[in-house]
Amino acid sequence: MIEDGVERRKHPRYEVQLPVLFDGDRNGSGTINDLSVNGSLIVSPTQVKPGDHLSLWLYLPHEAVPILIQGAEVRWSAGERFGVCFLTLQPHEQIRLSQYLKR
């Protein structure tokens, strides 16, 4: 996130194209366009609003089992794009996500 021309994110974001399913306050599917260890940008026709809570299933290339993020909160939404912050991520899923981002 850039505010006043200064990058405010604590962790780098990586450009990706990953399928994602989500449910919770809203149910749908989409594509993750950028990803970090604590959040992502999702493109989806499903309308969400800031404050919605979701569970996410991130489908990584060449892996049969998706990463489950049990708790994510929508921070912003604009058209078909929205940003989420990961609130609950089990340690083994955190490791898988970190390993994927290091590639």
Range of the domain at 77: 2-101
Tens digit of each residue's pLDDT (9 = 90 or more) over 2-14: 444 444 556 688 8
- Has residue 51 got a pLDDT over 60? yes
Mean pLDDT of the chain: 91
The number of domains in the chain is 1
- Has residue 34 got a pLDDT over 90? yes
**CATH assignment of the domain containing 38:** 2.40.10.220
Instruction: Give the pLDDT score at 41.
Output: 97
Instruction: Please list the helix, strand and coil fractions of the chain in percent, rounded to the nearest 5, in that order.
Output: 10, 55, 35
